[in-house]
Amino acid sequence: MSDVPFDRIVRTYGEALSRVAWGYVDGAADHDDLMQDILVAIWQALPRFRGDSSERTFVFRIAHNRGCSFITRRRHDEPLNANTPIADPRPGPDDILDDAGRREQLARAVRTLPEAQRQAVLLRLEGFSLGEIAALQATSEANVSVRLTRGRDRLRELLGGSGRGRGSDA
């Protein structure tokens, strides 16, 4: 297979894929491993791409599937209960409130969301429309809307309720 389509995909979506990877892992080493895992999976799947969905949907589906697999495999030594401690994403009094710090808080908060909500929220943050998210998740727009609302409520709670959004509902 020629490397040209693959290289183009990495150049087009690589930046967004890198952000999506931060929605699943929190360490630089894990992030690098997951990125490689995603890119190898895209390269392997590329010959099967027939244009049934958009290229963006194809690429992001692979990223999310590999992200979920990655964290499932990484946790294989942890006990099978929901009490595993996770880093508290709420900002502390000493946290720097620049963009990088707030982005890290946001990423940490996103990582606490259940899988389907997390996927919907990550896609929303990447600028996907409700219809596109529904197509990617193979579900209805109403279902996506519920996931986004629950995800937003959780993020708001974890991020300390910025209270920025007083606009209309979508």
DSSP string of 21-50? HHTT--SHHHHHHHHHHHHHHHHHHGGG--
Q: What is the DSSP letter of 47?
A: G
User: Interface mask (CB under 8 A) for other proteins, residues 87-116, using x and -?
Assistant: ------------x--xx--xx-------xx
- Structure tokens of 64? 């999310």
- Helix spans in 46-140 (H): 55-74, 99-111, 115-125, 130-137
User: Interface mask (CB under 8 A) for other proteins, residues 26-55, using x and -?
Assistant: ------x--xx--xxx-xxx--xx------
**What do you get for the CA distance between the two ends of the chain, in Å?**
43
- Structure tokens of 142? 């109403």
80, 86, 87, 97: which one binds other proteins (CB under 8 A): 80
Interacting residues with other proteins (CB under 8 A): 3, 6-7, 10-11, 14-15, 18-19, 22, 32, 35-36, 39-41, 43-45, 48-49, 58, 61-62, 64-66, 68-69, 72-73, 75-77, 80, 99, 102-103, 106-107, 115-116, 119, 124-127, 136-138, 145, 148-149, 152, 155-156, 162, 164-170
